[in-house]
């Protein structure tokens, strides 16, 4: 069931992103007088198609991993003399720039609309309160203490752990003192804490902003009550069911969920004797956790079960909501922040501060799309917005075969006063195909490594 949800979620996500992207090209091309021959969502054999009154074929193809807009162009096929004025290559350089740039700009617009909808509908989060501070960690050396609420990071106000993580991720590679402002309670003034770091988060896979600083977020006590048990995994094979309460493991009492998690992680392949409560009756079960290998080579145990959610205290719940007008500015600002974060991540990956193993391909995207869809509409829309920004930024990179590569050629044409030669464009196309192909293979390889 999880695989089916992942596949459906990624089809919906990619379908929306590709449709908006290609519609941007199509809409501007039509207004520049270019004849569009085909608007296709997906590649390969069309599963459905129709032709409109302008002669454009709209199609949904079998492979839902992209799409394209095919325009009338003398470089691709002979064009009748009476249609030359509708050919893409006959348009002015500024019209061609507008048509090519419209795809990424449509993705930016989609992200703005998605963030706007989230801000208008309102998002519920929890106050970023520190739970524990690890001894001899940067947070401990700064004087930060458990029970304090973080209100700003590096001078920027924050209202949730998501915002804190975004601010900290932006400082990958930083050496010096990270500044965090925190307060003891909602009525107290905040104080500034300086956390000493060296090459912060460099080459971590994946980056762990909070554990690296020695900060553990506060969370309410979570009883060891199972909410879901995945078929075919060790928990299900042991006879565990949703609603079971874990009482003891090997005779040792389990006070809360993390006690059980700690035992499981430390016991890959070992037999554990469980006492569980089910329908007010006590049962004895035998559980053998499976084994998963970490990047470090160490193995940890897992059982394939989830915990029952608990309610957070009302005083720690935060609702972030804006009016329709104010939400526009917030949405544009958030889209800008995510754009800069993506560009900075690409730069840091090129200079070696971020491990290339953080590249994500279709498998990871499918898993994340499925996970966010299961979490709820809010998470799914937020993921869609972030992916739309990423697609826009990547398409604007000056690599031939991408929109950014075409824009590079056209801006060179503006400066030189004549087009880049077809030989130079063909050579650049080969380089671009090689680069993009290499990146896709790397991303797929790292996807498979994560699965294994």
- Residues marked as catalytic: 22
Tell me whether residue 234 is exposed, middle or buried, using C-beta atoms within 10 angstroms of its C-beta: 0 to 12, 13 to 18, 19 or more: buried
How far is residue 7 from each of residues 1, 62, 125, 223, 346, measured CA to CA in Å? 10, 14, 28, 33, 27
How far is residue 77 from each of residues 70, 74, 195, 401, measured CA to CA in Å? 11, 5, 62, 19
Residue among 70, 17, 13 at smallest CA distance from 46: 70
Distance (Å, rounded) from C-alpha 90 to C-alpha 130? 62
Distance (Å, rounded) from C-alpha 387 to C-alpha 111? 8
How far is residue 348 from each of residues 160, 354, 399, 414, measured CA to CA in Å? 25, 6, 18, 31
Distance (Å, rounded) from C-alpha 401 to C-alpha 437? 11
Long-range contacts of 306-311 (CB under 8 A, 24+ apart): 306/226, 306/227, 306/228, 306/229, 307/222, 307/224, 307/225, 307/226, 307/227, 307/257, 308/223, 308/225, 308/226, 308/227, 309/227, 310/220, 310/221, 310/222, 310/223, 311/220
């Amino acid at each position: 069931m999880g695989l089916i949800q992942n596949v459906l979620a990624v089809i919906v996500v990619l379908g929306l992103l590709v449709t908006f992207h290609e519609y941007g090209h199509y809409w501007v091309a039509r207004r520049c007088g270019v004849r569009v021959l085909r608007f296709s969502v997906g590649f390969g054999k069309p599963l459905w198609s129709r032709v409109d009154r302008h002669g454009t074929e709209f199609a949904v193809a079998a492979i839902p991993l992209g799409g394209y807009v095919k325009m009338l162009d003398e470089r691709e096929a002979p064009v009748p003399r009476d249609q030359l004025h509708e050919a893409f290559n006959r348009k002015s350089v500024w019209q061609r720039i507008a048509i090519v740039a419209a795809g990424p700009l449509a993705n930016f617009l989609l992200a703005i609309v998605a963030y706007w909808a989230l801000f208008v509908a309102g998002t519920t989060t929890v106050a970023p309160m520190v739970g524990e501070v690890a001894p001899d960690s940067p947070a401990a050396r700064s004087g930060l203490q458990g029970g304090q609420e973080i209100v700003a990071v590096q001078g920027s106000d924050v209202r949730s752990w998501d915002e804190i993580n975004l601010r900290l991720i932006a400082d990958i590679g930083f050496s010096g003192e990270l500044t965090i402002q925190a307060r003891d309670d909602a009525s107290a003034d905040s104080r500034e804490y300086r956390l000493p770091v060296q090459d912060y988060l460099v080459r971590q896979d994946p980056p762990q902003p909070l554990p690296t600083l020695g900060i553990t977020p506060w969370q309410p006590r979570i009883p060891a009550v199972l909410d879901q048990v995945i078929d075919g995994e060790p928990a299900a094979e042991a006879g565990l069911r949703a609603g079971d309460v874990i009482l003891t493991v090997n005779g040792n009492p389990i006070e809360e969920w993390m006690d059980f998690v700690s035992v499981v992680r430390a016991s890959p392949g070992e037999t554990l004797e469980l006492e569980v409560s089910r329908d007010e009756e006590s049962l004895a079960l035998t559980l053998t956790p499976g084994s998963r290998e970490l990047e470090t080579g160490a193995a940890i145990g897992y059982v394939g079960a989830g915990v029952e959610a608990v309610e957070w205290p009302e005083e720690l719940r935060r609702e972030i909501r804006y009016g329709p007008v104010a939400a526009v500015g917030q949405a544009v600002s958030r889209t800008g922040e995510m754009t800069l974060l993506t560009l900075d991540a690409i730069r840091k990956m090129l200079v070696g501060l971020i491990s290339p193993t953080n590249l994500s391909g279709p498998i990871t995207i499918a898993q994340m799309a499925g996970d966010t869809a299961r979490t709820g509409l809010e998470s799914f829309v937020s993921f869609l917005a972030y992916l739309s920004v990423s697609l826009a930024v990547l398409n604007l990179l000056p690599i031939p075969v991408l929109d950014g590569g075409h824009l590079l050629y056209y801006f060179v044409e503006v400066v030189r006063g004549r087009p880049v030669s077809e030989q130079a464009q063909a050579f650049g196309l080969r380089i671009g195909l090689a680069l993009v192909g290499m990146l896709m293979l790397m991303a797929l390889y790292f996807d498979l490594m994560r699965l294994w």
